[in-house]
Each structure stands twice: as C-alpha cells, then as structure tokens.
Structure 1
Amino acid sequence: MALINLKAFDVVPVRFNLWLMLFTSCWVVYMLRVNMSLNLIAMVPQPARNISSRSQCNTDNEVLNESLRHVDIPEIREAPRQIGGGSFNWSKDQQATILGSYFWCYPITSLVGGMAAERWGPRYVVLVTSLASAVLTIISPAAARLDYIALVIVRFFLGCAGGFIYPALHVLVARWAPPAEKGKFVSAMMGGTLGTVVTWSLTGPLLEKFGWASAFYVPAGLTFIWCGFWWYLVADTPSEHPRISVAERKYIIDALGDKIKKSKGMPPFKSICTSLPFLAMIVLHFGNLWGLYFIMTVGPKFVSSVLGFELAAAGIISALPYLARLFLATIFGAVGDCILSRKLMSTTLIRKFFCLFSHIIPGVLLVLLVYTGCNTALSVTMITMSMGFNGAATLTNLQNHQDLAPNYAGTLYGIANFIGSTAGFFTPMITAYFTRTGDNFEQWRPVFFVGASVYIVSAIFFILFGTGNTQDWNISSKDQDGGKEEKAKDDDQNDMNDTSRQNYIKDLKENPTSITTRT
C-alpha cells in the first residue's frame, strides 16, 4: 500500500517533487535545531519574572503595548514550566552552553559539506546526516537525564550533522535546476523559516499533553519518515533518476548544457581564493547574514528595551518577519525566473539590480526604524518589511555562487557561509558596546547605523565587482583537456565512418556484380 501511495508522486514532474523535498529538508533541519530553545522552558524551572523596569516608551504606548502583550502572556509562559516528567536545575550559563553547542562545529562542517556532496552525491550526504540528526534527537532526553554535559555533546554532534545539509542542497540545485527556474528552487530553501514558526507553535501542545521528552521524540520520528520520502523521490542528477520522463530529462540536461560535470576531484582552491567575483559574493553573503542575524537578535531586543513591547511574547507578531521573508522570497524567485526566461535582463544585471531589494532597502528601513519613535506598530512594520524585502536574497547572494561555478556550488556556498556565520558573533558584541550605558534611542541609534551600513556597503561592493557569469575555473583544466580529447576522438570516428561509407558506395558502383544472394 505504501508503494502505491508513493507512486502518486510520479504523476507530477520530478522537478516539483525535488522542490518539495528541498523545502521540507530545510524545515526538518530547523525543526531539529530550534526545538531545544522552547524545550528548555519545560525542562528547567524558571525564576519569576520581575517586570518592574520600564522602558523609554512605556508611558506613551502603555495601552497599545498591553493589548499586544495580552494579560495572559505571563501565565502562558509559565505553563510549560509546570509540566512533569523531569526538572533540571541548570544555571543560565549551562543553558546557554546547551543552546550554543549546536553552532560550535556547524560552520566547519558547512565548509566541508559542499565538497562532500560534490564527491559522494548530495542525496547520500543529506540522507545520512538527517538520519544521524534524528538518532541524536531521540537520545537527547536520555542524555539530559544523565548530565547536562552529555546533552551538550549530543547537541554538538547534531550541529556537526546539520552543517552538511545546506551546502549539499545547493549542489543538488546546481545539478537539477534549469537557469530559468533556479529562483524557484533557491526560494525553496526558505522552508527553514516556516519550520521555525511551525515548530514553536506545535511544541507547546506537545509539552502540555505529553511532557518535554515528546518534543524530542516527535520531531525525530517525523525526520525518519521524511528520510523515506527523500530516498524514494530524490536522485543526484536527472540522468540517474529512475522515474523521470524522457522529455523532462532532456529539458533539464539541455538547459544546463556543459556547465555541470560530476567531478570527484578537489576544487580549484587557488582560483577560487583569487577570484574577485567570488570575493564580491562572499561580501554580499556576509552582509545578508549580518542583516538577518541583526533583525533576529537585536531587533526584538530594541523593541523590548526601548519601546517596552516584547516582540517574542505577541504570538503571531513574532512570526510576521519570518513569514514575510518566506512569502516575498517565493515572489522574488518567480519574478527573477520570469525575467531571465524572457531575456529581459542578463544574469549579472538581475543579481545586481535585486541587491536594491535584498540589501539596500532593508538597510534603509533599519535606519528609519530608529526614527519611528514610540510607535510600536510602526516599529514592528519596519522590522517585518526589512526582513521581508531580504527575501530577494534568493536572486542575489543565495544564487550567485551557482552562477560562478555550478560544479563547485556547494564548496562556494560552504566557504561563504563559514565566513558569513561570524556575523552572529559580532552583532551582539557591537550591540553590547553601544548600549552599555543605557537603553534609549541615543544609545541604539549607532547600533542600527552599523547594521544598515553593512547591508548597504556589501551591496555596493557587489554591484561594483560582482558578476553572474560562469568562471573559467568551473571546468578544471583536466576536464577541459578530457573534453577536447573526447571531441577529437568523436571527430576522428565520424571521419572514419564517412570515409568507410564513401568507399563502400564507390565499390558498389564499380563492382555491381559482387552482390550475391544465397538460396
């Protein structure tokens, strides 16, 4: 019966199935990553909150903030803490170590994940690391009961496995997505955004009804089920897929042309590291992650400390920036594909033009956010719009590495993500430096100026030095020589065939009686 149900997927194009699996893979990664932040609330008794401090805007926006905060938010927050099944007296530093241990190895495995996928295939890399992540999630409750150090170790290896997945997915996109559809495929990687929102929404009922351990077991079980679909529906290349139609395979291979080789050698690191277009892509990616981490961390803190409205306590409002980014990323991806398919702009012009939406406009909105005053609704709107417009990154930094070298897309993304992840360390430090003397508009203004500057300067640098053209080092010299030799052999074989055919026709004309029949 399971096989019959799965065959329903064969009715739709394989590319749609692949898009769906890309989207859900990012969902799974974030589901296993972010569930711990909410699980800790149920696992560790929290001290009562002292809400005696007042922000700069409390007196001006008391009614609006109270209506958005809701009177029952403190009780809702306390509810998971009354759940039975385990109580761990971990300090705040120990809790921070548990949460942070996921990211200790994540940038390193992200750096090598692309090379692993290019060598052994993205299908196997994603499958193995997802299965490992599910197993690690299942043993997390047992590790927690053993000691918090054991849970830290589990989270560390969970981050090691998670770092492989995104670079491997970019390798898969490079091998499957026709140029005119690449925006749609890259936008599928925003599935992690929705995964975060849904995970936080569903974890609460699980905690209340079944206890904190269920919030580990259910995501792990869903991941195992997902891995079965991944194994059935995904192949490394169109030519290896067992159920793709001949027409769809031909369409993809013809659209990709000769830019993709299933290389198992080492990437040309010297050419990569000395490439100015690749450096421009790294700068653009760094600016994107800086702005993303800035909004995710500093934005809510500003709204809480200065405006007196805690964004994370307002339910759906806390999800608006993420949902806006997901929605607009899909729109921008479709628009970019339409422009490219109709040849209204070149690839390079598309990458540079949409930097206006992915980087420059979000940077401007960050500056305007400081001047909104004690208007909570307008501030939330600015944060939502800033992250929403950043969804255009699906047409800029999240796609440019595939333009430069489709054969090494995973490697390029891994390097850029390794460097860009450092933004997550710098943004809290800069915020702490400028706000060490207080939390008002004067202290926060330079924080937003720095964030906006990184956004805008990175876009300008890419506009000046970036490109959407495939680089020469995408095809190694060995592959180029092999291609020339293969082409020469084909030409020689064709010449020999033509000569033999001409001689045969000549013999027929000169010796017509040489043809006999047997009776």
Structure 2
Amino acid sequence: MDEKPSPRKGPHLCSLRCGLAVVMHLSNFAMITQRVSLSIAVIAMVNGTQQPAAANASADGPRADALKDAGRARQELGAETSEYVWSPATQGVIFSSISYGIIVTLIPSGYLAGIFGAKQMLGAGLLISSLLTLLTPWAADLGVALLIVVRTVQGMAQGMAWTGQFTIWAKWAPPLERSKLTSIAGSGAAFGSFIILCVGGLISQALGWPFIFYIFGGIGCVCCLLWFTVIYDDPVRHPCISVREKDHIVSSLAQQPTSCRRSVPVKAMVRCLPLWAIFMGFFSHFWLCTIIITYLPTYIHSVLHVNIRESGVLSSLPFVAASTCTILGGQLADFLLSRKLLRLVTVRKLFSSLGLLLPSLCAVALPFVASSHTATIALLILIPGTSNLCDAGFIVNSLDIAPRYASFLMGVARGFGLVAGIISSTATGFLISQDSVSGWRNVFFLSAAINVCGLLFYLAFGRADIQDWAKDRSLAGL
C-alpha cells in the first residue's frame, strides 16, 4: 500500500529521524556540559590566596584579576575551603588539554566512523567522556598531571562523538530536512552551555563542587543507554521504523551515490576549492565563537562591573539565543528549499552570510556601547545567536558536496575550527593584557575582519552540488 511514499514537507514529530535528532541533542548537551563543568567547578577547587609574583604583575594582569575574582566568587557561592593550589598558568594548561585531545581524534574518528559505524563510534565516545567526567574529582586529588591526562583523553573521546554524527545524518536525513534535523541536534551544545552556566554555581553551593561532575557525568551515561538502545546506523536496519518512513528516507537519498569503496581521495580534496570554502568558514566561525564562550564572563565582569552571580546569569543568556536561532535557522532553511523559493547553494550562502556578517557587526559595535549595560548585553546575546545561523550554511555543506565522506570532512573542518579557537584565545589574552580598553576593541575588530574574509572566500567558492571525486566511480563511468 505504501510502496511510493508521498512527499513530505518535513519530519513528523513522531518520526524516528526526529527522535534521532532529539537523542543527538541530548548527547551534545551532555558533552558540552562535561566540557565546561571544570570551568565552573574550578572557582571552588582552586586556592585563590596564592598571588602572582610582583615581577609577573604586568604580564599576567588579567590573570591576576581573574584570580581575585575567583576568591570573591567562592565567598558568594558559599564554597567551603579550596583544595588545590593551581597557578593561572596551570589552570590554562588544564583547560586547553581537552581541546588538544579533540584535535587528535577529529580526523581519524571521522574516517573510522564511515567504516565501523557511527553508532558505535559516537556511543563509545560519549560513554568514555561520561565515565572520565565521573572520575575527574578523583584525578584532581591524585595530581595535576593525571587530571591533564584525563582531560586530554576526554577530549579524544568527544572528538570521536562529534564527528560521528554526520555519518549518521548522511543516511538518515533527507536532503530537504538536513538543516532542520542537524540544527535540532546541534542546538544541544548551546542549550547545555546555558544550563551549566546557570546551575553549576548552585550545585557547587548546595552539594559541593564534585557533584557538578557526578551529575553531568551521570546524565551522559543515561544518554549512552538511550543511544545504544534506540539508535541505528541507517533506517534500513532499524527494527521499529515504519515502512512509510523508511521508504521516504531511502527514496529521497536514492540520487546520492554510495559505495563500499573506502579509500579517501585526499589529493582531489586538497584541490577542491568548495571544500576549502567550508574549512575557511569553520575557521572564521570558531574564531569569534571561542572568544565569546571563553571570555564572556570576564568581559561582562570587567566592562559592566557586576558580581560573579549576576555575571553567570548574564553569561548564560546568549546561549538561549544561540539554541533558539539554531533551530529556527534550520526550519527556515528547509522551508525555503521545500517550497523551492531558493536554490540549495543560495540557501547555504545566505545563512553563511547571516551567520558571519551579523555577529561581526555586533562585535564591532560593542566597544562603542560599553557605557550602556542594556546595549552591551543585547549585542552579546546577538553575537552567538546570529553566529549559529551558520548551522544551516557551510556547517552542513559537507553533506551536500560529499555525503560519502561527510563524517571525515566534518572532522577536518572542526579541526580548522579548533585551531582557530586555540589561536583566538591566545591572541585575546595577549591583546587584553596590554590594555583592557584598546585590547578588547582590537579583539573584536580582528574577529570581524577574519569573519568577513572567511565569508568572502565562501561566497566566491562555495558550492552545493556533489563533487566529482565524491561520486561512485562505477556510476560515474570511471
């Protein structure tokens, strides 16, 4: 009766592919909270009585201020005694270790996910990250070196989980629903950032800082159980999917070439300008986003002069906007495609333009409205919110130009983004250490310039058609 499914305008709320997006949303929620949890707990963990040496006062001015703020924060949060004497430099190494771990596994895990199955790769990554989160208080007790190792391995596990997602969507997401489904899944990261900033301090105050790791590590373990029992690598093998939905997904993906051939055409990829356009988009996008995520509480405290409790609440507001814009952007993109109002490449470039240009304008305007609390908060909310419109642009573009290698390419693209994040964090610290006012202005101007350059490159070379090197050789007659 249902051999030829009728076309659909979008995923039904009760469809398995929509359920997959929700489960992946929860997984991303768990991973981002596990990643940020140490940034919240460290306020109660670290002994802030140790002051930097006078000789280092000029070089580490912002770090010294942050150390003093941490001391005040412990009093406001009602924390008991601090347990660890970690210098600001040591804390910086601990925080960055998870990013280095993610970089190590992004590319190989993306490739292996296409071979062994993304379900196992993503599930294993989430499980390892969750277990290591539960063990973080124990690792901190045993020493800084072990904690750095734990955080690095946790980053490697999260790198496995992030890249495995696009291999799944290459088999589950019909072309006209990709933006919508991936945006629902991706919004879990923004929502998780909001939740951890809101409740992390309260958990530390009420139960003690180790429970930040226990609670969010436990949530990750629950998500793992849900993941391994509900999710399958493709709709054909899912035992509970309806015939109608399975036929709809399979028929919509019928035009996309697949093959058992596993070799990666690296040379062709290196020469592919549309692929480099995606990489440049990721680099530009992550540059500004990392600054906002890392330095937002510091900026709010130093510019608006609010206490740590108010700073935490204000810092969480942008991530509400980010989560909302991610979902709405995906809905709008698929609406434009399903109604055939715009071509696919036009939609990708439109949302890439909005996601790179709008936050750049907001960032440039920030130094000029520093005297207004309302205007500053409004712009800070708009920056991550509008940035996440890129989720319907170049971020999902690898599924368009090379669905067979989407997971591998996503790993490479996120590698570019992480490199940008590491460089931007270092550059920001250097610039604001020279002079706070001019430093922040230079940080935002530089970020806007990089965003505009990335956008121009993407507009010039971005494409949305499957590239020749990504097609099945047998189908292409090669």
Structure 2-normalised TM-score?
Answer: 0.87
1:347-366 correspondence runs (5 A): 347-366=344-363
Q: Which residue of 1 aligns with 2:250?
A: 253
Q: 1:425 to 1:130 in 2, by over 3 A?
A: closer
Amino acid corresponding to residue 179 of structure 1 in structure 2? P
**How many angstroms does 1:446 deviate by?**
3.1
Task: Pick closer, same or farther for the CA change 1:289–1:251 going to 2, 3 Å.
Answer: same
Residue 473 in structure 1 maps to residue 469 in structure 2:
yes
State the shift of 1:235 in Å.
Answer: 0.6
Alignment of structure 1 residues 401-480 onto 2, 5 Å:
401-440=398-437, 442-477=438-473, 480=476
Aligned residue type for 2:369 = T
1:361-382: CA deviation from partner (whole Å, max 9, x where unpaired) = 2111211222224112101111
Residue aligned with 2:239, SS: coil
| Inter-CA distance 310–180: structure 2 relative to 1 (3 Å threshold) | farther
Asked whether the 8 Å contact 1:303–1:309 carries over to 2, the reply is yes
Per-residue deviation, 1:11: 9.9
Q: Which amino acid letter does the alignment assign opposite residue 44 of structure 1?
A: V
Task: Report the counterpart of residue 386 of structure 2 in structure 1.
Answer: 389
Q: Alpha-carbon deviation of 1:229? A: 0.9
Offset from partner CA, 1:245-297 (integer Å, 9 cap, x none): 01100000111123152646122111111101101111111111112123334
User: 1:287 maps to which residue?
Assistant: 284
The 8 Å contact of residues 118 and 262 in structure 1, kept in 2 or not, is answered as no
| Alignment-derived partner of residue 156 in structure 1 | 152
Contact 2:118–2:167, Cα closer than 8 Å, also in 1: yes
Inter-CA distance 365–213: structure 2 relative to 1 (3 Å threshold): closer
- Give the CA deviation at 1:435: 4.0
Task: Tell which deviates more after alignment, 430-439 or 387-396.
Answer: 430-439
Q: Could you say which residue in structure 2 is the equivalent of 1:31?
A: 33
1:143 aligned to 2:139? yes
- Counterpart residue type for residue 360 of structure 1: L
Displacement, 1:184? Answer: 1.3
Q: 1:35 to 1:248 in 2, by over 3 A?
A: same
Aligned partner of 2:101: which letter?
C
2:369 partner SS: coil
2:182 corresponds to: 186
Map of 2:23 onto structure 1: 21
Q: CA deviation at 1:301?
A: 4.2
Match among 377, 396, 399 for residue 380 of structure 1: 377
Q: 2:226 aligns with which of 220, 223, 229?
A: 229
Match for residue 278 of structure 1? 275
Gap change, CA 1:428 and 1:32, over 3 Å in 2:
closer
Instruction: State the Cα distance separating 1:89 from its structure 2 match.
Output: 2.5
Tell me the percent identity: 27
Alignment partners' CA distance in 2, 1:196 and 1:400? 25
1:130 and 2:126 are equivalent in the alignment: yes
Aligned to 1:4: none
- Alpha-carbon distance in 1 for matches of 2:201, 2:372: 30
Contact 1:80 1:207 in 2 (8 A): yes
CA contact (8 A) 2:300 2:311 kept: no
- Separation in structure 2 between the aligned mates of residue 421 and residue 203 of structure 1, nearest angstrom: 25
- Distance in structure 2 (CA, Å) of the matches to 1:294 and 1:151: 24
Aligned residue identity for 2:23 = M
Structure 1's unaligned 5+ residue stretches are 1-9, 50-72, 485-519
Aligned residue pairs, count: 450
* Residue matched to 1:317: 314
Amino acid at match of 2:161: I
2:359–2:387 CA contact under 8 A, matched in 1? yes
Larger radius of gyration: 1
Judged with a 3 Å threshold, the aligned counterparts in structure 2 of structure 1 residues 334 and 455 are, in CA distance, closer, same or farther, namely: same
1:426-465 alpha-carbon deviations (Å, 9 max, x no partner): 223433454454222x444333221111111211111111
Is the Cα–Cα contact under 8 Å of residues 118 and 264 in structure 1 kept in the other structure?
A: no
Structure 1 residues 431 and 285 mapped into 2: Cα distance closer, same or farther (>3 Å)?
same
Structure 1 CA distance for aligned equivalents of residues 106 and 124 of structure 2:
15
- Whether contact under 8 Å (2:110, 2:160) holds in the other structure is yes
The separation in 1 between residues aligned to 2:177 and 2:411, in whole angstroms, is 22
Q: Distance in 1 between matches of 2:358 and 2:467?
A: 29
Alpha-carbon distance in structure 1 between the residues aligned to 2:13 and 2:353: 39
Q: 166, 178, 191: which one pairs with 2:162?
A: 166
1:174 is aligned with what amino acid? A
Pairs within 5 Å for 1:112-131: 112-131=108-127
Distance in 2, matches of 1:436 and 1:74, equals 20
CA 1:443–1:355 in structure 2 vs 1: closer, same or farther (change >3 Å)? same
Which residue in the other structure is 1:508 paired with?
A: none
Amino acid across the alignment from 1:26? N
| The 10-residue stretch of structure 1 (211-220 or 153-162) with the greater mean CA deviation from structure 2 | 211-220
